[in-house]
Amino acid sequence: MAQDEFYGPEEAMPAEDRERHYHEKVSQQVQFAYENSPEVKERMDAAGVKPSQVRTTRDLELIPFLSRDGLIERQGKNPPFGGLLAMPMESLYKVLYSPGPFYIPVSSPEYARPALRFLHAAGLRKGDAVICSLPSLFAAGATIEDALSLAGMVAIPAGSGNTELQINMIHDIGIKGYVGTPSFLMNLVKKSDELGYDFRKEFQLRSAVVSAEPLLPEVRNTLQQDYGIRVTNALGVGTATWMGFECREQAGFHMLEEAFVEIVDPETGKQLGPGEVGAMVLTGLNDNPAFPIIRYMTGDLSSLTEEPCPCGRSSMRLTGIMGRVGDSVKVRALYLTPAQVNTVALRFPVISRCQVVIGREGYRDEMVFNIELTDDTLDREQFSSELQSSFQDACRLRIDKINFVPEGTIPEGYKVIVDERSWEVRR
Ligand SMILES: [Zn+2]
């Protein structure tokens, strides 16, 4: 792999070094946060946890989460920072606003450095002109503008809206990179068609970093195949901290060296193993000492994979956002999300609608998969066995029964997962 692939050699560090890196950073960060952030001290004291007990990433399990709602509530009661400020106000570099809504104090431009990893992974380099179409009023846009200036790139702050103006700017300035939402980039390229431009010939825009909303496969395909723009997805969270980014393989989000993301059971707070779906919990590692983030519960579901990536980065990859904690159901101790079911259904174009119904048979969860097919002549036995193995592969759960139902049985506006279990205690 070419040396230029990585922003820094640490992206390819051996697994043992990486483990040690996270253990050390996590324990230092917890110690620092306990000493400087009243919120973290309060949370740890309430749980009777001392910073010296947190020596490895596994020990994070001892510390209760900070939820987004909890953060908002704290700042509402005690504005502006709700006890999360860990340095004197007058020495701050900036205060950012996140549509959470909450405020983020920032200590120095260094807080934006982690973003340089994905700008680099997207193929953008020093001197490249990059348009930022995220509003600078919000933390995500502000972070990108600071990151562009740290990287020595030429920033064009644009915010959202003014499609025609922005597409003309991209053309006139010879802009090479875009950072913003995928849907706004689609608007921009469509506008270029409308204005009579030949995008591939008349524009230099070849790289886009997208974030802040789901990237649909068809949107990515259109941008990459029809317009020649390579799309790199980055996974952020409202606290001006990034969790991961895609490499050129576009197969999951490499965890950053500056953040430790746990996948946990939201009820118990225990960490889950690779492949298991659970809630993403973020601990920021020292890029913004003004606002130490320890065990921030994002409320989004994901899973981790340890499989080596052909790009050479040694970090684990997050498989992307698979739903919200509230939308998922727990079946035989594993989380099942609508996104997982949809992923399986998309592999079989012959499925027009499908629905998973969870029931209870004795002390065991029973899972029935109702399927509407577009083709009645299909070999159902063969299909069922392919569906079963695809489902197990994606969801790690076995379907008990596949039901072929006539078209129209599953109603308009249906839920992908229906939980019919009754949790009443029977006497
Ligand atoms: Zn990779």
* Per-residue pLDDT tens digits for 90-138: 999 999 999 878 999 999 999 999 999 999 999 999 999 999 999 888 9
Cα–ligand 1 centroid distance for 11 (angstroms): 10
Domain assignment present for residue 379? The answer is yes
Model confidence over 28-38: pLDDT tens digits? 999 999 999 99
In the prediction, which pLDDT does 3 show? 62
Q: What is the mean pLDDT of residues 80-84?
A: 96
Note the pLDDT tens digit of each residue in 267-290. 899 999 999 999 999 999 978 999
In a domain, 25, yes or no: no
Confidence of residue 386 (pLDDT cuts 50, 70, 90): very high
- Reported as a pLDDT band with limits 50, 70 and 90, residue 357 is very high
Q: 3-class SS at 101? A: coil
User: Hey, what are 131's tokens?
Assistant: 């348009």
d(CA 333, CA 311): 34
Q: How far is the CA of 9 from the centre of ligand 1 (A)?
A: 14
Region 64-74 average pLDDT: 93
Q: Separation of 247 CA from ligand 1 center, angstroms?
A: 5
pLDDT of the residue at 427 = 39
Domain count, the chain: 1
Going from the Cα of 205 to the center of ligand 1, the distance in angstroms, rounded, reads: 23
User: Are the C-beta atoms of residues 68 and 266 closer than 8 Å to each other?
Assistant: no
pLDDT exceeds cutoff 50 at 16: yes
Alpha-carbon distance 222 to 54, whole Å?
Answer: 47
Distance 105 CA to ligand 1 centre (A): 32
* CA 248 to ligand 1 centroid distance, Å: 7
Ligand 1 center–CA 66 separation, angstroms? 30
- Domain assignment of residue 400, yes or no: yes
Give the chain's mean pLDDT.
93
CA of 309 to the centre of ligand 1 (A): 5
How far apart are the CA of 183 and the centre of ligand 1, in A? Answer: 24
Instruction: Compute the distance from residue 314 Cα to the ligand 1 centre, in Å.
Output: 8
CA of 383 to the centre of ligand 1 (A): 33
CATH number of the structural domain spanning residue 344: 3.30.300.30
Ligand 1 centroid to Cα of residue 232, in Å, is 11
How far does the centroid of ligand 1 lie from the alpha carbon of residue 166, in Å?
31
| Least confidently predicted of 56-60, 360-364, 385-389, 413-417 | 360-364
Residue 407 lies in a domain: yes
Q: How far does residue 14's CA lie from ligand 1's centre (Å)? A: 14
271: CA distance to ligand 1 center in Å? 23
| 306-328 pLDDT, tens digit each | 999 999 999 999 998 888 887 77
Residue 355 has pLDDT above 90, yes or no: yes
The answer to the question of residue 397 being in a domain is yes
Q: How many other β-carbons are positioned within 10 Å of the β-carbon of residue 385?
A: 12
Whole-number Å distance, alpha carbon 227 to ligand 1 midpoint, is 23
Range of 399's domain?
A: 331-419
At 413 the pLDDT is: 86
**246 CA → ligand 1 middle, Å:** 7
Q: Is the dihedral of CA 262, 253, 127, 104 positive or negative?
A: negative
Ligand 1 center from residue 317 Cα (angstroms): 8
Distance (angstroms) between ligand 1 centre and the Cα of 21 equals: 19
Domain-embedded: residue 360: yes
What is the average per-residue pLDDT within 135-145? 92
- Percent of the chain scoring above 90 in pLDDT: 79
Given a cut of 50, whether residue 180 has pLDDT beyond it is yes
Position 423 scores a pLDDT of 58
Q: How confident is the model at residue 425 (pLDDT cuts 50, 70, 90)?
A: very low
pLDDT tens-digit series, residues 193-251: 999 999 999 999 999 999 988 888 899 999 999 999 999 999 998 888 899 999 999 99
Q: Is the pLDDT of residue 150 over 90?
A: yes
CB 59, CB 50: distance < 8 Å? no
Handedness of CA 21, 23, 24, 29 (dihedral sign): positive
**Nearest by Cα to 123 from 281, 214, 242, 6:** 6
Q: Compute the distance from residue 162 Cα to the ligand 1 centre, in Å.
A: 35
List all residues 6 or more positions away from 25 whose beta carbon is below 8 Å from its beta carbon.
260, 285, 286
Does the structure show a pLDDT above 50 at 341? Answer: yes
Matching residue, tokens 């205060």? 95
Q: Does any domain span residue 393?
A: yes
Would the pLDDT of 2 be above 70? Answer: no
How many whole angstroms from its chain centre is CA 26? 20
Distance (Å, whole) CA 284 – CA 293: 5
The Å distance, Cα 308 to ligand 1 centre, comes to: 8
Ligand 1 mean position to 249 CA, how many Å? Answer: 6
> Does some domain include residue 408?
yes
- The pLDDT of 167-181, averaged and rounded, is 97
In this prediction, residues 60-64 reach a mean pLDDT of 97
